[in-house]
């Protein structure tokens, strides 16, 4: 049975709420009219705490619709302002798992590209550093495991560019499984790509204590070919 919304919450206090987003779920509303995660969070808070009128839920960061994993919301304006500052100062650490079909030539490394977004295509391309519209994109990656057909990569995202992991792994020659937009040849059996935001680390914006969160990989193909809990 599908989990209730409260079962998807990894952490909640008076300042923050952290939710496991499903692959295929919108974070913010778009022209499709599908109910986004931010509205589900607001409805949860409204019912849970019997709040009248509008409910505040500040989105700290985003992950793409076909991606699963952890998303942080601030429950107060003060918490949102402080979390935004952490993101800008790179004190908000984000970790991902990606599954690819093409094994990277090197088992680990730092990827540095300049990415330029094409608004019409909703896609990012590697561009020359001299291009004023291009933004520097940084991530580190390491090969975790391999199966007969797939390879599991762990990523620390150092900057937050549009479709950054998807574009950079494609530039590496290892597009994410199911990501037809960035060069993979076959879709998955469900509307998603094999990219999962599994980890977060940051200092609580009010209590000033270190926080660390991990969300297990989805329990379906191709994720079931790997076990990171060994």
Of 71, 67, 65, 117, nearest to 94 by C-alpha is: 71
Domains, the chain, in order of start with CATH, read: 5-225 (3.30.2350.10)
- Pairwise CA distance, residues 91 & 81, whole Å: 14
Angle at 88 between CA 59 and CA 129, to 5 degrees: 115
- Pairwise CA distance, residues 214 & 158, whole Å: 18
- Tens-digit pLDDT profile for the chain (230 aa)? 456 899 999 999 999 999 999 999 999 977 788 899 999 999 999 999 999 889 999 999 999 999 999 999 999 999 999 999 999 999 999 999 999 999 999 999 999 999 999 999 999 999 999 999 999 999 999 999 999 999 999 999 999 999 999 999 999 999 999 999 999 999 998 889 999 999 999 999 999 999 999 999 999 999 999 976 54
Which residues neighbour 123 within 8 Å (Cβ) at sequence distance 6 or greater? 117, 163, 167, 181, 182
Torsion angle, alpha carbons of 62, 195, 43, 58, to 10: -20
pLDDT at 1: 43
């Amino acid at each position: 049975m599908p989990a209730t919304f409260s079962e998807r919450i990894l952490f909640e206090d008076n300042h923050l709420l952290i939710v496991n987003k499903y692959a295929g779920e919108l974070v913010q509303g778009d022209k499709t009219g599908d109910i986004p995660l931010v509205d589900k969070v607001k409805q949860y808070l409204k019912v849970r705490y019997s709040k009248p009128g509008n409910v505040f839920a500040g989105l700290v960061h985003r992950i793409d619709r076909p991606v699963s994993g952890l998303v942080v919301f601030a429950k107060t304006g003060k918490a949102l302002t402080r979390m935004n500052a952490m993101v800008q100062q790179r004190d908000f650490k984000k970790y991902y798992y990606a599954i690819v079909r093409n094994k990277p030539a090197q088992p680990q490394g730092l990827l540095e590209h300049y990415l330029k977004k094409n608004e019409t295509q909703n896609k990012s391309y590697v561009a020359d550093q001299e291009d004023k519209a291009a933004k520097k994109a940084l991530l580190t990656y390491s090969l975790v495991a391999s199966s007969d057909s797939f390879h599991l990569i762990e990523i620390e995202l150092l900057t937050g560019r549009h479709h950054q992991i998807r574009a950079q792994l494609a530039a590496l020659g290892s597009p994410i499984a199911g990501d037809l937009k960035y060069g993979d040849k076959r879709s998955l059996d469900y509307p998603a790509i094999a990219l999962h935001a599994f980890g977060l680390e940051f200092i609580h914006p009010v209590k000033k204590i270190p926080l660390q969160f991990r969300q297990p990989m989805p329990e379906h193909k191709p994720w079931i070919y790997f076990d990171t809990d060994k």
